[in-house]
Amino acid sequence: MRTTVGIIGAGPAGLLLARLLHDAGIESVVLESRDRAYVEQRQRAGILEQGTVDVLRAAGAGERMDREGLRHDGIELRFGGKRHRVDFPALTGGKSVMVYAQTEVCKDLIALRLKDGGPLLFEAEALAVEGAEGDRPRVRFRHQGAEEVLECDWVVGCDGFRGVARRAIPASVSRGFERTYPFGWLGILADVPPSHDELVYARHDRGFALLSMRPPVARHHPSEEVASLPVRSFVSRLYLQVPAGTDAGSWSDEAIWDELERRFETDDDWRLERGPITQKSVTPMRSYVHEPMRHGRLLLAGDAAHIVPPTGAKGLNLAVGDAVTLARALVHLRDTGSAGLLDTYSATCLRRVWQAERFSYDMTTLLHRAPDATPFDDRLQLARLERITASRAAETDLAEAYTGFPLV
């Protein structure tokens, strides 16, 4: 099997890159180790920056997002019983974000890929990337019980932190930068309407909490008279800071709701709505960057190259930035014969990656309480929050970073 661009991984980076290349008339093959059902069901967060929304629309993948996604024009910071809304459009010249889960983005891109007839092989496990230093790299993979070889002009690794692509870059030229946090997020899905119409980021002496939501999902109406009409059911997504290594099952539903109420407490009459919890999980918190993001004809994108803690909602958006940058570079090579943009791909992406890492670190340390925090540390956190609420410049910096850095 031969193609121009071999893409390992059908996550947002790989699927969007394949779509952008298809629109530009460049062939690609996507290899995904999991089956389609797994890819379309694995739960991931989904706060889409303005630039990501614009790219998906331009790629023809925005119809359902615009219909079902939730546009948010701000977030609420909550601390010391006080509430402060950050107004994105007023601070950024009109930018907003979209609440639309990564799972749904992948569903939309998969549907487009299959509709267009582009090769997308599920249950195709990449075993190795070979020949990246030469002009004919190849991917060895296993599909339907047989080992096959995909020959390419370029290989793009979008196969996550544990994938084969990053490991194919020699240790002699690789550098990894990492930070592991001593806490994680206990996340729940609950069948209850959100208690606020925008995301709430709460700093509390007991730890951080986040109130989020998922777009309404269609459910069968219980009444026979309107059985043909779906009911749009809101779902709340909430998180609690917990010690690293916490077992989600060690928290009862009642204990979770009680702790959320404590951390979201305000001086006014705001109340947290409770409901049935349908899912619990714990997300570890870590930051990681691999440099470089290119070795010969092998390029990395998405989680294969970088990971951010979820506080800043940057993971999916960084993947989109990588895909856009790489697609433009490959189109430029095809149209001009110049590899100039490919030669600067790693440096271009890493500038944006490190800004996202910086913002995610700032948000994490601003809102989470470290296990060894001192009263001095607590007062510094509060001073930083007070600065944001009192200074338009500081508030604008947060809003600009949250709604998205330039894609290129």
* HSE-up of residue 400 (Cα within 13 Å, Cβ side): 12
> By three-state DSSP, how is residue 234 classified?
strand
Give me the phi and psi of 132, to 5 degrees please.
-65, -25
Q: Do the Cβ atoms of 139 and 133 come closer than 8 Å?
A: no
Q: Look at the alpha carbons of 88, 20, 109, 348 in this order and tell me if their dihedral is positive or negative.
A: negative
Give me the phi and psi of 407, to 5 degrees please.
-65, -35
**Residues contacting residue 62 through CB under 8 Å, at least 6 positions apart:** 53, 56
207: left (phi over 0), alpha (psi -120 to 50) or beta: left
First-last CA distance in the chain? 32
- Strands, E, within 257-360: which ranges? 277-291, 294-295, 298-300, 306-307
Q: What Rg, from alpha-carbon coordinates, does the chain have?
A: 22
Which positions are annotated as active-site residues? 72, 201, 310, 314, 402
> Chain-centre distance of CA 377, in angstroms?
29
